[in-house]
Every structure is written in structure tokens, then in C-alpha cells.
Amino acid sequence: MSRSAYRNHPTWWAFAIHRGSGVALAAFLPAHFWALGLALESEAALDSLLAWTAHPALKLVETGLVVLLAAHLAGGLRVMAIEFLAWNAGQKNAVALSAFFALAAGLLFLLNAVA
């Protein structure tokens, strides 16, 4: 099997999404810690940040963050299943289930944010 053929396999894409979501979440952490620091600094600073995050465009960014979190969680569970359970040919089903879980979590979050 050629090198590029591996990259068309669903389990390779599951790996790539899991790794990419982890990197994106790690990049988000400094902003998260900054927001927590504002909460410790003063109530007015936190209220100002929360008012800014009420913007509709940021709801989409938050939804993306929830999808990244769900994708990383689902990918991690898939990796744990590979590690601790016997290998089977149903790995494509696990990848599809992980993708469904991540997108469903993001959609539920978006529906809750809009309501």
C-alpha cells in the first residue's frame, strides 16, 4: 500500500483530527487562562469580557471550540478502545461514531446558544 493510500483511510483521518483538535485546544488555553485571570482581577473586567463574548460571531467560535472538544474526546476514547480492546474490522464504524458524536455535540451547543 502506498504512502498516500494510508492517508485516505478513515482511521488516518481520525488520527489527524484527534491530533489537530488537541493542538487547537492547546493554542486556546492561553486565552482561557487570560479570561480566568480577568475573573480574579475584578468583576467589571469579567463583565466586560462576557459582554464581548455575547456577539453572534463568537457564538460560532464557541461552537467550533465545543466541536473540537467533542472531537478530541471521541478520538481519545477511540484510542483507548484500540489500546485496551481487541482489534476488529469495525474501526471505520468507531470513526464514524466519533465524528457523529463531535458534530452532534456542536449542533446541540449551537442550538442552545441561539435559543
- CATH number where 60 lies: 1.20.1300.10
**Count of structural domains within the chain:** 1
Buried-state track 44-76, b at ≥16 Cβ within 10 A, e below 16: eebeeeeeeeeeeeeeeeebebbbbbbbbbbbe
pLDDT computed for residue 1 by the predictor: 57
Which residues of the chain register pLDDT less than 70?
A: 1-3, 115
* Residue span of the structural domain in which 50 resides: 3-114
pLDDT computed for residue 2 by the predictor: 64
Q: H helices of 42-90, where?
A: 43-52, 56-84
pLDDT computed for residue 25 by the predictor: 93
pTM > 0.85: no
pLDDT computed for residue 88 by the predictor: 73
pLDDT computed for residue 3 by the predictor: 67
Per-residue DSSP letter, 65: H
